[in-house]
């Protein structure tokens, strides 16, 4: 009896396996569709940014398909994306990547949201030699592993706030500055920290406070008390949205006076909306801003993208959406230059990418990171009770002057 059951199970699994391998043979390009796959966080703790990413992808797919699609071998193809919800869980993301590749037969992948999940998926795509263009994994360690099939349209994490240190030194008359920094203990924030360490070394600046915030922590009072006591020239904070919101809340409540405050995730945290005037003068790193002067023929300019996106989804696009849209433009360009659906030819075409999109210039370095686009810094400025993000660096795109030093709390209304 037992033997029969075993035999039955084995034959069933054999048939299933055969079916799976059979179906996978024709899915990469299905009729007139080029099928891309993506595991994306639609539920769980990354779900808001996951949705921003998905909206960015969908917006670009619609636009490219409407404007003639992708021309390969004289024929026009359309993009289609298979999504799976990875529940913001790296293990699940890796499983889904396997499923997309082995069961659904996807031959080209789009990245998930966040560095952590991209790190989980990259070994899988690499194993099956599947080109992946990702738009939301900035951690430096992604680009030092020698991955050959990973391409990122965004600037790596260590570049996020390096510019801020240069700016501080410039404002200090070219002299080194004293830096206080607090970073959450996760891959991304620690990469941002490495960038600051490099910048400090380069400019001869001194790091006087170097706090690493545990992930569970939602109170920075101790760090800020130290800042108050040591009076640094610049305070750098990075800890995702929670870090940004906690920092502004406690800096304003504890009346911590620093001449310059540099952070990440201000726009994702809706800092100017949630904290209003208290967030004024904060300097924030961003991958993109609608006022930049880049252009392409699909979305026009950043401003046009902003308008179209608002019309489609009802909110202003955060940079997570813009960079995700750019990923599709990169794929389209690579397919057309490769003029083939062969994975390795597409991969080689991706290596040679050199293009401008509304999001910025894109050219991949040896590790797969985008080396053609600088980070930008904006500063929160308020008029009355409404606060806005104004681009202040690099000077080429600056719409406003960088306000320095931040006035003392006793002088702020």
Among residues 25, 216, 384, 411, the one that binds other proteins under rule CB under 8 A: 216
Among residues 254, 355, 382, 398, the one that binds other proteins under rule CB under 8 A: 254
Interface with other proteins includes 316 (CB under 8 A)?
no
* Sign of the alpha-carbon dihedral angle for 128, 130, 136, 139: positive
Interface with other proteins includes 212 (CB under 8 A)?
yes
Residues 271-290 touching other proteins, rule: CB under 8 A, are 274-276
Q: Say how far apart CA 13 and CA 105 lie, in whole Å.
A: 19
Nearest distance, CB of residue 191 and other proteins, angstroms: 16
Q: Which stretch binds other proteins (CB under 8 A): 65-73, 122-130, 243-251, 394-402?
A: 243-251
Nearest distance, CB of residue 46 and other proteins, angstroms: 7
Count other Cβ atoms within 10 Å, centred on residue 76: 11
- Per-residue contact string for residues 97-116; x = within reach of other proteins by CB under 8 A: --------------------
Secondary structure (DSSP) of 156-197: -GGGTTHHHHHHHHHHTTT---EEEEEEESSHHHHHHHHHHH
Which residues contact residue 12 at a Cβ distance below 8 angstroms, ignoring those fewer than 6 apart?
none
Q: Which stretch binds other proteins (CB under 8 A): 93-101, 195-203, 246-254, 316-324?
A: 246-254
Q: Say how far apart CA 160 and CA 237 lie, in whole Å.
A: 11
Residues 179-208 touching other proteins, rule: CB under 8 A, are 182, 185, 208
Interface with other proteins includes 54 (CB under 8 A)?
no
Q: How far is CA 32 from the centre of its chain?
A: 30
Interface with other proteins includes 270 (CB under 8 A)?
yes
Residues 116-145 touching other proteins, rule: CB under 8 A, are none
Q: Say how far apart CA 19 and CA 342 lie, in whole Å.
A: 23
Interface with other proteins includes 384 (CB under 8 A)?
no
Among residues 159, 241, 279, 324, the one that binds other proteins under rule CB under 8 A: 241
Q: Say how far apart CA 348 and CA 357 lie, in whole Å.
A: 20
Q: Could you tell me the CA-to-CA distances from 73 to 69, 80, 290, 336 in Å, in that order?
A: 13, 19, 35, 8
For residues 156 and 318, which CB has a smaller minimum distance to other proteins in the complex? 318
Residue whose tokens read 């055969």 = 18
Interface with other proteins includes 386 (CB under 8 A)?
no
For residues 28 and 193, which CB has a smaller minimum distance to other proteins in the complex? 193
For residues 175 and 273, which CB has a smaller minimum distance to other proteins in the complex? 273
Residue whose tokens read 């920290």 = 193
Rg, C-alpha atoms of the chain: 23
Residues that bind other proteins (CB under 8 A): 43-49, 182, 185, 208-209, 211-214, 216-219, 221-223, 225-226, 228-230, 240-242, 245-246, 249-250, 253-255, 269-270, 274-276
């Amino acid at each position: 009896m037992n033997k029969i059951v075993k035999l039955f199970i084995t034959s069933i699994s054999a048939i299933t396996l055969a079916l799976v391998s059979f179906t996978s043979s024709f899915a990469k390009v299905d009729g007139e569709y080029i099928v891309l796959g993506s595991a994306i966080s639609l539920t769980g703790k990354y779900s808001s940014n996951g949705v921003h990413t998905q909206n960015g992808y969908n917006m670009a797919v619609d636009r490219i398909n409407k404007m003639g699609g992708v021309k390969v071998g004289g024929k026009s193809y359309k993009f289609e994306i298979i999504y799976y919800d990875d529940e913001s869980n790296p293990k699940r993301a890796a499983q889904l990547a396997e499923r997309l590749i082995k069961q659904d037969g996807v031959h080209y992948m789009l990245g998930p949201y966040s560095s952590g999940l991209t790190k989980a998926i990259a070994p899988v795509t690499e194993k099956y030699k599947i080109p992946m263009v990702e738009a939301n994994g900035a951690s430096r360690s992604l680009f030092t592993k020698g991955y050959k099939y990973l391409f990122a349209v965004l600037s790596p994490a260590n570049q996020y706030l390096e510019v801020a240190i240069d700016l501080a030194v410039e404002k200090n008359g070219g002299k080194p500055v004293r830096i206080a920094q607090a970073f959450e203990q996760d891959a991304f924030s620690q990469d941002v920290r490495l960038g600051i360490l490099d910048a400090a070394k380069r400019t001869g600046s001194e790091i006087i406070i170097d706090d690493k915030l545990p992930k569970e922590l939602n109170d920075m009072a101790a760090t800020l008390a130290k800042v108050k006591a040591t009076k640094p020239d610049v305070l750098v904070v990075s800890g995702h949205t929670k870090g940004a919101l906690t920092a502004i809340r406690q800096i304003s409540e504890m009346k911590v006076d620093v001449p310059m405050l540099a952070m990440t995730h201000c726009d994702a945290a809706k800092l100017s909306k949630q904290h209003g005037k208290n967030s004024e003068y904060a300097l924030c790193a961003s991958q993109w801003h609608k006022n930049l002067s880049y252009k392409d023929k699909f979305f026009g300019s950043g401003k046009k993208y902003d308008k179209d996106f608002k019309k489609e989804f009802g909110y202003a696009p955060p940079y997570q959406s813009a960079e995700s849209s750019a990923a599709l433009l990169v794929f389209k360009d690579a397919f057309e230059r490769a003029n083939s659906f062969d994975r390795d030819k597409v991969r080689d075409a991706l290596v040679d990418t050199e293009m401008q999109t509304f999001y910025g210039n894109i050219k991949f370095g040896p590790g797969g990171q985008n080396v053609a686009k600088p980070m930008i810094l904006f500063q929160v400025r308020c008029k009355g009770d409404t606060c806005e993000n104004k681009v202040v660096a690099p000077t080429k795109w600056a719409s406003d002057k960088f306000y320095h030093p931040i006035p003392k709390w006793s002088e702020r209304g």
